Amino acid sequence: MIDPTSIIDKRAELASDVSIGPYTIIGADVKIDSGTVIGPHVVIKGPTSIGKDNRIFQFSSIGEDPQDKKYAAELTRLEIGDRNTIREFTTMHRGTQQDNSITKIGNDNLFMAYTHVAHDCMIGDHVVMANGASLAGHVSLSSHAILGGFTLVHQFTKIGQYSFAAMGSAITQDVPPFVMVGGKPTRPHGINTVGMERNGFSPEDIRLIRKAYKIVYKMNLRLEDAIDELLNLHGENIHLGELADFLRHVSRGILR
């Protein structure tokens, strides 16, 4: 399961069934759990932990030092969950002490070729980053979000769950849950109906989310007033409650 041309540090911890391809380098303080397959010419630097049943393709660089001038070789981490697919030339960097010292990636995500996850990013589950999409430092990318090819996300930006960014989007402010963005300049374009339908949202849920979108984007309300309207609307609907909570905690204002 381990190619003889690979180089594995004695301080790395690999489950017995991990597969390592030719010329791959595994550094110290790397932990890889069972069922994970590492292709050829991959470099993994620790401290990094990789969960079960991941697939990492050739020429990826995982767990390298953050690209931050303030970084001074402090002990920081990268954590990757289970069943992620990490395609060719993807780069994922460890965290910095300026944040929580960790970059964290959840489960069942797809990172297509040439994607980049910078230091201190937090990524949920079932996320798709298409070819060339890149996250700057300290970005939060929530579960089921999709970033089209060559999407660029500004540092400290939050991307909500079930949101969708079209190819080539430049995201400089927070994107609320369920919202589609795209164009040049990048602007909101309704809700991600197809994504929600594919994930089992009821017609009533989608109707309420569409109404919430109109409150936030079509009624010319201040954000604080829009949140009040959402709280009056949502009742017991969990999705509208999550949307209102996201808007209460935006860090850079929302993309409008």
3-state secondary structure of 189: strand
Instruction: Specify whether 119 is catalytic.
Output: yes
Cα 136 to chain centroid distance, Å, stands at 11
Nearest to 60, CA basis, from 104, 129, 122, 111: 111
The three-class DSSP label of residue 246 is helix
Q: Catalytic: which of 33, 82, 99, 120?
A: 120
DSSP state of 238: H
Task: Indicate which residue of 137, 148, 149, 195 is catalytic.
Answer: 137
* 137 labelled catalytic: yes
**Residue of 63, 82, 93, 119 marked catalytic:** 119
Cα angle, residue 76 at apex, residues 69 and 96 outer, rounded to 5°: 35
116 is an active site residue: no
The CA distance from 200 to 208, in Å, is: 15
In angstroms, the CA 161 to CA 231 distance is: 19
Helix (H, G, I), strand (E, B) or coil at 181: strand
Residues taking part in catalysis: 119-120, 137
